[in-house]
Amino acid sequence: MRKLLLLVVFSSGVMANSTQYIGNEVKIPMRSEASIAKDNIITKLGIHTPVTLIKKQTNGWSHIKYQGKPGWIISRYLTDAKPMQASNAKLKQQTKQMTKLKKNNQAHQQTIVELEQALDQQRQSVSALKAESIEYDTQILELGKLRNKMNSFDQANTDLMAQVKLLKSQSSAMHSTDFLTIVSTLMLLAGLAGGYLVSKANADRNNIYTI
């Protein structure tokens, strides 16, 4: 029978005159009725404020008493943990979060280091490409200079070929002139020799007639 009575008491949410504390989130309004309305706020209870729990309803509201005044508050903002316990629990939770954040930060730092290394490699690659580009441009300039020299050589070669052709033509003309001169000279000499022989023959003939 006693067990049945306790079961009924707990199922109805009754915890007579037990001390509860406001949670550590925000200030919570204590209301005159178990409903949310603008005109039923009695006061706002700060973090870790102790209150006397009269009855905890199954609909999510709790009937409480604060400084001798009764009122209603949403049940989820109440806790039976003392402020020091709640603070310790919060501190442990924050410590876990800090540890997790440190691990994440270390992972992020490692990622940053790897990204910086990759960035350095990319910078080295860009520098190498720039050097190759400069060398390529230099080679292009040198090739242009060589092409200009080849064009100059081609032009000089063309001029030389024209001069050689002209010299050959002049040489041929000179050979023809020399040949004619030689022939003319030989004919002149032959004429002179013939004239000399004729005149000598005439002179000999005259001498014979004279004797």
Tens of pLDDT, residue by residue over 85-103, are 656 666 777 788 888 888 8
* Alpha carbon distance 74, 57 (integer Å): 10
Mean pLDDT of the chain: 82
Q: How many CB atoms lie within 10 A of CB 42?
A: 16
The answer to whether the beta carbons of residues 53 and 72 sit under 8 Å apart is no
Region 169-196: mean pLDDT is 79
* Alpha carbon distance 66, 28 (integer Å): 13
Tens of pLDDT, residue by residue over 140-169, are 989 888 888 888 888 888 888 888 888 888
Q: What is the pTM of this model?
A: 0.35
Region 32-41: mean pLDDT is 93
Residue 13 has pLDDT above 60, yes or no: no
Residue 125 has pLDDT above 50, yes or no: yes
The reported pLDDT for the residue numbered 184 is 82
Instruction: Rounding to the nearest 10 degrees, give the CA dihedral for residues 163, 166, 172, 176.
Output: -130
Q: Which residue has the tokens 């707990």?
A: 10
* Alpha carbon distance 49, 117 (integer Å): 54
Residue 68 has pLDDT above 70, yes or no: yes
Residue 76 has pLDDT above 70, yes or no: yes
* Alpha carbon distance 62, 53 (integer Å): 7
* Alpha carbon distance 199, 205 (integer Å): 10
